[in-house]
Structure 1
Amino acid sequence: MKLKVKSWTMAAYWSWDVKEADVCGICHVAYDGCCPDCTTPGDDCPLIWGECTHVFHMHCLVKWLDSSSNGEHCPMDRRPWKTAAAPS
Structure 2
Amino acid sequence: MPFDGCCPDCKIPGDDCPLVWGQCSHVFHMHCILKWLNSQQVHQQCPMCRQEWKFKE
* TM-score class normalised by the smaller sequence: over 0.9
Structure 1 position 65 matched with structure 2 position 47: no
Q: Which residue of 37, 42, 51 corresponds with 2:9?
A: 37
Larger Rg: 1
- Aligned-residue identity in percent: 60
RMSD over aligned Cα, in angstroms? 0.7
Name the SS of the counterpart of 2:17 in structure 1. Answer: coil
Name the SS of the counterpart of 1:66 in structure 2. Answer: helix
Residue type of the partner of 2:38?
A: D
Matching of residues 6-85 of structure 1 within 5 Å: 29-85=1-57
Name the SS of the counterpart of 1:30 in structure 2. Answer: coil
- Structure 2: gaps (5+ residues): none
> How many residue pairs were aligned?
57
- Structure 2 distance, partners of 1:32, 1:46, is 10
TM-score (norm 1): 0.63
TM-score (norm 2): 0.95
